[in-house]
Chains A and B, each alone.
Chain A
Amino acid sequence: MRQRSMVILTSVLTTGALTLTACGSRDDNGGGSSDGGNTTTLTIGVDAPLSGENSTTGLGIQYGAQIAVDDANKNNLVPGVKFKLKALDDKAQPATGQSNATALTGDKSVVGVVGPLNSGVAQTMQQVFASANMVQISPSNTNPELTQGKNWQTDKKRPYKTYFRTATTDELQGSFAAGYAFNDLKKKKAFVVDDKQTYGAGLAKIFAEQFKKLGGTVVQTDHINTGDKDFGSLVTKIKNSGADILYYGGQYDESSLITKQLKGAGVKIPLFGGDGMFASTYIETAGAASEGDLATAIGVPADTLPAAKNFIATYKAKGYKGDYGAYGAYSYDAASAIIRAVKAVKDANGGKLPTDNNDLRSKVVDEVQKSNFDGLTGKVSFDEYGDTTNKQLTVYAVEKGKWKAAKTGTAD
């Protein structure tokens, strides 16, 4: 009988281990806010995956916000207020994001948060920030539900008034991709795969709908699990389906392996994805197999933004890790929106910050809503749902081992 109890024990422990891996470390530095004199120090929180999956883009978000904070301090944008950054690692896991959100709201010096990278993580954080009345601006969340509610297709309703984003939504990304694939690439038969996550599944669904609407055929759909490495079975299905393009909704961790195994099996069709795979890591991991693959990304490339020239120079000069290309500039704008909101609150309050932290936080939310300034990515302002009014999109293609912008457009 010993063996049976052993098996039960083992399964309990395995479950425990699985649960444990989902817990993140909490970083409680406490919230020392004011230091002598008349200078107050306020903290801008950052939540993004800083290690593991998606960390390349996550670090771009952290350092994008860091540069915004440094610039604000250097230019004394808000006189008498110094800003600092507190970056927490959510490891791309919703549960960790939620505990980070709790930690950030618990820190009295935090006025607002930039992040997270992943839509799925944002879903668990929104409620925490809403209860604390603290502003959260994501530079990269693209799931329409986050700002427009569960029934966004029929009945738009903003769920949380504390949530904003400088990124545009999957609705535009998926259909922009479908338009490019059908009209520009002349592809007629798409195989659509997603990773079942909020972001990936949403993207794939919208792509498929729009692709069919344009007159293309979706020959087959499939789903994979995040963390999978072997896509042999999927590749064989794609090979057999006669598709001339593969659309993948998900992150680069899986798509780089899919494209590698796909091309390895002699299927020379491009893999098209969303901004989740728009990172240099995608090309590094997939190698030559990534040549000709495509990705849509929100906004326009940081390198082509005239306003972002200094930003890029600073990013490179400081030797920051990660990839600023995708969201660095959007993260900069998100952090700037919070900083400018603090300034507006201070100005409206007769040049003094409200003494009560909760009061300050809720006023910052109101001021972020009213944001209207020229950021690195263009005009920064938010509509009644908290979505950016700056709806730029770009299709990138891998060309000689680099992402090259293939088409830039604005969605209405």
Chain B
Amino acid sequence: MNTLPQQLANGLLLGSMYGLIAIGYTMVYGIVQLINFAHGEIFMTGAFGALTVYFYILPDGTPMAAAVPLMLLGGAIVAVLIAVGAERFAYRPLRGAPRLAPLITAIGLSLALQEVVRNFYPEADKARAFPGLDTTHDIGSVTIKDADIFLICAAVICMAALAIFVRKSRTGRAMQATAQDPDTAQLMGIDTNRIIVIAFAIGGLFAAVAALAYGMKYGNVDYRMGFLMGLKAFTAAVLGGIGNIYGAMLGGVVLGIAETLASAYIDDIPGMHLFGGGSWKDVWAFCLLIIVLLVRPQGLLGERVADRA
């Protein structure tokens, strides 16, 4: 059996999830040059928001078809509120401060959010079961689940919507302007604070979509899930060119596929048995990152580094 199509599908799905989260890193970085390390935790709270809707708000036995939109709404509300709240109360007061200050704030916020969920969410000190969409479909030699279909559709729709929003809408153009030059944008009458809030909100929204997909795909969520996913998504954002929304998605997909293929095939290469398998996938993914950054320091789709640096 040829496993390549299945492995590519696995990688694409994982990568789409990285990409959705990476959007949040990249948009915020593009506009305020802040690496929002708490974004992984915003993703995590989105998952718990969706979980809350399913277990504590909806009546038992609600069909998933009806529950999913409501869970998405619940997760999005929580994630967006926390993202916007983080911007308003943690980052905005430090807007003019040296860059180290908001970065440390972000790390502190990340730990704080983890501990809040662990301590105050019922039974969150261990993995909580999440309703899954487990019906499988065979397409040729590829087996995928409903949750995977949700993920891929959500990623495509979100990306398309974001692209249209940024290009066509007034607010989107204002975002581009703010990213290019915040001071001049402000002089031209753009409310940059509002633009920054919107960037955080969109990041939170996308993280919530990814979180719902994550929960339904893996069937459980826990308070630490944001750490590793956040780190990977950040890597994806850098790989694709931080600041570029298409780069974030592309970086996510490339990273996901690289990880999957490395874990699947490296140990088949003669002499490479020791360096293959699932435990080395991160090593290969980061090697790829290093190579890309050596050849293209601005990332795959990065640009405008000159006026950033």
List the interface of chain A (C-beta within 8 A of B). 1-4, 6, 9-10, 13-14, 16-17, 20-21, 51-53, 55-56, 193, 196, 221-225, 227-234, 236-237, 239-240, 253, 256-257, 260-261, 264-266, 281, 284-287
Contact = CB atoms under 8 A, between A and B. Distances in A.
Given A240-B1, A265-B136, A266-B136, A227 B228 contact: yes
Contacts of A257: 218-220
Given A6-B99, A10-B103, A236-B264, A230 B7 contact: no
A4 B297 CA distance: 10
Contacts of B85: none
B76 to A, nearest CB: 22
Given A3-B305, A264-B136, A233 B263 contact: yes
Contacts of B136: 264-266
Dominant SS at the A interface? helix
A268 to B, nearest CB: 12
Contacts of A4: 309
A8 B103 CA distance: 12
A265 B263 contact: no
10 contacts: A2-B309, A4-B309, A16-B107, A17-B107, A20-B111, A51-B125, A52-B118, A196-B279, A224-B278, A225-B278
B103 A225 contact: no
A101 B279 CA distance: 30
A326 to B, nearest CB: 15
A207 B201 CA distance: 51
A193 B219 CA distance: 21
A302 B270 CA distance: 48
Contacts of B35: 6, 10
A234 B278 CA distance: 7
Interface string B139-162: 000010100000000000000000
Contact of B278 (A2, A55, A222, A284): A222
Interface residues of B, number: 54
Contacts of B54: none
A233 B278 contact: yes
Interface stretch (B66-74, B126-134, B168-176, B181-189): B126-134
A223 B279 contact: yes
B107 A56 contact: no
Nearest to B217: A230
B221 to A, nearest CB: 10
B103 A55 contact: no
B282 interface: yes
B7 A236 contact: yes
A284 B219 CA distance: 10
A237 B219 CA distance: 21
Contact of B129 (A53, A261, A287): A287
